[in-house]
Structure 1
């Protein structure tokens, strides 16, 4: 044993920690026979190897030495403490260091529900984005590259290059010529390290990284499915909710005439921007093209049929910071139809830019690429969308504050001015449609306090995630702290908004570390104030913040 401690201190630490876990369980009354039965049955953490389980799986806590630290990614690892353990009923005491250690352990082992992404499954072929070139050409990094790109490299020239060449350029500019210290760049480092590519990172060998991915790509669909399963397991994500656009022909072919099968780890959400905006012309075109009557009942049937096809978790739409909602219902008279480019409708997120801006006198007519604008005057909102939501007991998820096409030359990398949004529109929706549940997240940091207040006033509102420009550690810390202080655990702490499958790994491991640090402080304050806390109670609240509260909200029918 002394030789092991000297020759391999890391392995020695793991062995000691594993023994401590087993000893702690026996001291708390779990019993040796119970432990042996778990090993024999390969239940819980022992599903990884039964009696031959690697000791690392029995470490209760961090997978790195030292104190809990939110500067290090907190990767998912199954807990060696099962739900049946007596340890969960034991008071954890008042030592802040012990509380912090337990919080980090529980956060690292919590299975997350990623309630909003832009991912698509491997069965959807090229629409399923994954791999190093997709990571490097993600719009965050493209925008970062153009901050310092040479004048000779225009967006037009850049986008004319093939994806591999684009990735080469960004790798050199952001990872070789500069330190990859931004959150988006660091995320790629975290992801590659999690895949065991530390040596390739050390040598800055992009081609060697590509070889790793090629080992999956060379097996076509089987390889993509294997890679997808690996990512979900590594990220600790139970399931991710997609954003599905039936109006996009490129995606619709995977749903009709026969729906492509995909793993349970993917769940659908139906994008409904035109209905929320009351965009008559776009809706009428879609109805005619699909053979439906151009009536309110025809629109309802259209929506019902797509719900039957996709079986969505919820309806969803994006709205800009300056969207408006009238105080009263009104009628459709006076609505001005706007022209629609049929080719544009075939593009992903087409309806983000084709809303009926003519319906809204407060909307700047020059803002052609804004997100949908809610128009409560439209019967498509009240008599179609909300009717179907009530009928099917489906929530509506809103992402509020996006502004598309700020710099059109950068394409998707040019989206997103952060501005202060009017939250009263959300309050009016919740008030006017009390039987419909709403999920909401805001792009502006300045809206987060109002959002918390609204969530405390409306039982049909659930706040989730730190979206887009708020998905940075410093801002996640601030927002999560405020939400815990105002809402307890009645919100969902994070969603990834991932577009590239691999991003699940870094977005969740980075967020876990930050959220664990926040919860450590908040739970410590509670205990010091005089509340006794068991580990089981701690686990329950952590699980709520990582998806349990969302599922409780979804199960709360208001019909």
Structure 2
């Protein structure tokens, strides 16, 4: 049978009527489909309200960040403003002595008033204001502050989720952070909000056993530094206790670029805890392990949270873990652009590896497009294209608005490529694929 070429894409750069129609359907579907945001640093109302102070380490003001001053003083913009007003003119220690509103005023003036806000972090603030119904041309910051001051946190969470079309928010709950841990202990119901899911994060267990061990002993777990059988059993008990307390849907750790795992012969404390305590406990519980790899911390400590940088990481360690632990499931994102192709290829080889998101320094439109296009070409729809990593509630709005536009653009191109072969793509096909990318791939991966 002679092959038809009637649906071949016009080699010119002018879109055909069918390509235009495909793009319209894809953009409409991507922007209207609810997303399950699988990784944020956001908290429900119970964490944003004052609680009985268990110790001086608990912040009585709460952990839920929202509003214009929090948007403007986010560490992305703190680092950016020091490109404009260097430390020789405004010493770091002077900036950190300012009130939150004074810091926001400084950033607003130098990045939004005196200059065109071209960076992605700046554009994100404008997108957020606009989609909340505020005027992005307004130069008087106090007018924006007035609007946010009139909102209540609980209703604002609903408004932001509705505007961003986020159906569920996944928290990151760091058990070794005194402020957070003691909130769970003081107010166990604080995390009981149907809009939010909990994730148990325990970086020091794998990154710094010499400091984590004494903490566990302080909390009533009989551990020794030498990681004997009793200690491994107590670490497992600790993990089971906190998974249950939080009702965690997965566990997570952020790992440095230097992270290496080389199998059973690797007797380093972190690898031993990972291999003998963490992964068996998660396999037993049926929970995935999320690894965020590639942040080198505090190369400029004067910037505080903005002082971290990026380096290449070791994908071979991820491959080794997936191979050695076939009964475990691994979510993985890496920070360096240079790691993305190798990581996607690794996911082709292991069904227990789910690549997700464009994290932190990768969350820029040009890189999101490049990475999403490459992943679709290698993995089809078997990955999670984005997560917000939001630390300020309102960031959900711009991060998902910007990401959806890019995801839609890439998908429209890929559907046009499919139709160029003669295969017709229906609107039902598009709806199914988009729902899978924005919700189903992650939801399915959570199921053992």
State TM-score, norm by structure 1: 0.72
Matched, 1:203 2:138: yes
Matches within 5 A, 1:130-529: 130-150=66-86, 151-198=88-135, 201-216=136-151, 223-259=152-188, 260-277=190-207, 279-294=208-223, 295-331=231-267, 375-376=270-271, 378=272, 380-416=273-309, 418-529=310-421
- What is the alpha-carbon distance in structure 2 between the residues aligned to residue 246 and residue 328 of structure 1? 27
- What is the alpha-carbon distance in structure 2 between the residues aligned to residue 490 and residue 94 of structure 1? 29
State the Cα deviation string for residues 73-99 of structure 1 (Å, max 9, x = none). Answer: xxxxxxxxxxxxxxxxxxxx9810110
- Aligned residues of 2:296 and 2:308 also touching (Cα < 8 A): yes
The DSSP-based 3-state class of the residue aligned with 2:291 is strand
Matches within 5 A, 1:40-59: none
Q: State the Cα distance separating 1:283 from its structure 2 match.
A: 3.0
- What is the alpha-carbon distance in structure 1 between the residues aligned to residue 292 and residue 400 of structure 2? 20
Q: State the Cα distance separating 1:330 from its structure 2 match.
A: 4.7
- What is the alpha-carbon distance in structure 2 between the residues aligned to residue 225 and residue 298 of structure 1? 38
- Aligned residues of 1:94 and 1:524 also touching (Cα < 8 A): no
- What is the alpha-carbon distance in structure 1 between the residues aligned to residue 423 and residue 389 of structure 2? 36
- Aligned residues of 1:275 and 1:384 also touching (Cα < 8 A): no
The DSSP-based 3-state class of the residue aligned with 2:258 is coil
CA distance 1:509–1:326, change in 2 (3 Å): same
Give the gaps of 5 or more residues in structure 2: 1-15, 49-61, 224-230
Q: State the Cα distance separating 1:534 from its structure 2 match.
A: 1.6
The DSSP-based 3-state class of the residue aligned with 2:386 is coil
- What is the alpha-carbon distance in structure 1 between the residues aligned to residue 306 and residue 204 of structure 2? 23
Q: State the Cα distance separating 1:528 from its structure 2 match.
A: 1.6
The DSSP-based 3-state class of the residue aligned with 1:250 is helix
- Aligned residues of 1:122 and 1:224 also touching (Cα < 8 A): yes
Q: State the Cα distance separating 1:326 from its structure 2 match.
A: 2.4
The DSSP-based 3-state class of the residue aligned with 2:296 is coil
State the Cα deviation string for residues 355-393 of structure 1 (Å, max 9, x = none). Answer: xxxx6xxxxxxxxxxxxxxx42x2x22221011101101
CA distance 1:454–1:107, change in 2 (3 Å): same
- Aligned residues of 1:136 and 1:171 also touching (Cα < 8 A): yes
The DSSP-based 3-state class of the residue aligned with 2:431 is helix
Q: State the Cα distance separating 1:532 from its structure 2 match.
A: 1.9
- Aligned residues of 2:358 and 2:368 also touching (Cα < 8 A): yes
CA distance 1:504–1:330, change in 2 (3 Å): closer
Equivalent of residue 112 in structure 1, options 19, 35, 40: 35
CA distance 1:479–1:212, change in 2 (3 Å): same
CA distance 1:301–1:269, change in 2 (3 Å): same
Report the more deviating stretch, 279-288 or 501-510.
279-288
- What is the alpha-carbon distance in structure 2 between the residues aligned to residue 234 and residue 135 of structure 1? 17
Larger Rg: 1
Q: State the Cα distance separating 1:298 from its structure 2 match.
A: 1.5
- Aligned residues of 2:176 and 2:202 also touching (Cα < 8 A): no
Q: State the Cα distance separating 1:437 from its structure 2 match.
A: 0.2
- Aligned residues of 2:191 and 2:198 also touching (Cα < 8 A): no
- What is the alpha-carbon distance in structure 1 between the residues aligned to residue 356 and residue 191 of structure 2? 28
- What is the alpha-carbon distance in structure 2 between the residues aligned to residue 483 and residue 226 of structure 1? 37
State TM-score, norm by structure 2: 0.89
CA RMSD after TM alignment? 1.5
User: Which structure is higher in RCO with an 8 Å CA cutoff and minimum separation 6?
Assistant: 2
* Aligned position for 2:6: none
Matched, 1:103 2:26: yes
State the Cα deviation string for residues 111-168 of structure 1 (Å, max 9, x = none). Answer: 0111111111121022000000000000000000001215220111101111000000
- What is the alpha-carbon distance in structure 1 between the residues aligned to residue 339 and residue 209 of structure 2? 30
Q: State the Cα distance separating 1:261 from its structure 2 match.
A: 4.4
Report the more deviating stretch, 143-152 or 468-477.
143-152
State the Cα deviation string for residues 448-487 of structure 1 (Å, max 9, x = none). Answer: 1001100000010000000011100100110000000000
Matched, 1:531 2:423: yes
Report the more deviating stretch, 498-507 or 237-246.
237-246
Q: State the Cα distance separating 1:263 from its structure 2 match.
A: 2.2
- What is the alpha-carbon distance in structure 2 between the residues aligned to residue 397 and residue 157 of structure 1? 38
CA distance 1:261–1:245, change in 2 (3 Å): closer
State the Cα deviation string for residues 9-32 of structure 1 (Å, max 9, x = none). Answer: xxxxxxxxxxxxxxxxxxxxxxxx
The DSSP-based 3-state class of the residue aligned with 2:283 is helix
